[in-house]
Amino acid sequence: MRAAFHDDLDAIFTDLTNVCELVSVAVRDATIALLEARNDLAEQVIDKDVEIDDARERIEENALELLGLQSPVAGDLRVVVAALRMISDLERMGDLSVHIAKIARLRTPNKAVPEIAEPTIQRMAEVAEQMVGRTCQILRDRDVSAAQDLVADDDEMDQLRRKSFAELLGQEWTAGVEPAVDVALLGRYYERIADHAVTVANRVVFVVTGETPADS
């Protein structure tokens, strides 16, 4: 009975990793749609978000069923509780990808990001994609060391966010108000994706060690 229970716990982590992979694709495709004015990819990200939503419901149901039937304690309970929280973070990352895709769709056939802001937004997107990819690996391996290292990438994201604001407020900004709003929102969306990636990684640390990192 306990062996089957632990198989169920492992299955939850496998499901979380699979959802993370879906999120990784969503972030990547939303970024391509944004920077290349690809309406087809924007629509695809928006349409496929239902897969992430459905996965959340399925994982929550499985986790709650384990809570109800097995009454887990100690480390097992940490896994179930953390899973319920992580799937919420992953779903939110998917939603943020949809927000990026919707800005891309709104501005096509033109690009939403003006030339002056493109290098910073592109780097923010790269960092976000890298962080999501590493989060998937952290979930797969339950790698505490890699989870702790992820914070360094988040520091770069924070610096890029400040740089983006400086560009918006600088005298060289001539793109107008509407693009400024888009860029401000995009910076926030990528920053929040990174924040959620760190939160998921920190929850893995909690599962493995029983300790809650200060950044979680």
- Looking at residue 148, its pLDDT comes to 87
Give the separation between CA 150 and CA 193, rounded to whole angstroms. Answer: 13
CB 52 within 8 A of CB 23: yes
> Which domains, from first to last, does the chain contain?
2-209 (1.20.58.220)
216 CB-contact burial (10 Å; exposed 0-12 / middle 13-18 / buried 19+): middle
Tens of each residue's pLDDT in the chain, 216 residues: 456 767 888 888 899 999 999 999 999 999 999 999 999 999 999 999 999 999 999 999 988 888 777 666 667 888 888 999 999 999 999 999 999 999 999 999 999 999 999 999 999 999 999 999 999 999 999 999 999 888 778 899 999 999 999 999 998 999 899 999 999 999 999 999 999 999 999 999 998 888 877 654
> Closest by alpha carbon to 73, among 65, 83, 81?
81
CB 124 within 8 A of CB 190: yes
Give the separation between CA 26 and CA 21, rounded to whole angstroms. Answer: 9
DSSP 139-163: HHHT-HHHHHHHHHHHHHHHHHHHH
Question: Quick check: pTM over 0.85?
Answer: yes
